[in-house]
Amino acid sequence: MTRFRIASLFVGLLIIIAVFLPLQAVGDAPEEGTPVPDFRLQDQNGDWHSPSDYEGQWLVLYFYPKDQTPGCTTEACNFRDDIFKFKEKNSAVLGVSVDDVESHVAFAEKHDLPFPLLADPTHEVATTFGVLRDWKLIQIANRETFLIAPDGIIAIHYDKVDPEIHSAQILADLERLQSD
């Protein structure tokens, strides 16, 4: 069976699951104005990250469904292309999905991603942030982002994300928040 055929079957299965099984959120998202929940996850390089590592700077914590899928690739590459703009705004970017470290290695290498992709294969962090979606047969992280202020408080929760414009949207919000 070719890779294309396997991928097509997988996408078809996801569509069938989405149509016939109800999508259920697992957990509630932390609210804007509250401290970011603590966690510790490993990235594609084997390094460990937690929110406290980023105190004193803005943190873009974006959750995405699956490595190597079209929307997730678009979103990640837009963050990649804007990474210097984020750094100019004293901001770090972290991507999180329920994929494992090995999947993140391949995704980051294929698209030259210059920021950490955190692996959450136990779904603990996705559940804590209320972004885990349960389709009974599979669980994925919903495409949502938390913009965390330098003091560790959630400034903005983006629960509806368009991967085409999301990076630019966050940059505009950072500009607005930093000028207030």
Give the residue numbers marked as catalytic.
72
Q: Helices 70-81 and 166-179: crossing angle, nearest 10°?
A: 40
Task: Name beta bridge partners: 95.
Answer: 62, 117
Q: Which residues contact 131 (CB under 8 A, 6 or more apart)?
A: 25, 29, 63, 141, 142, 144
β-pairing, 144-148 vs 154-158, is antiparallel
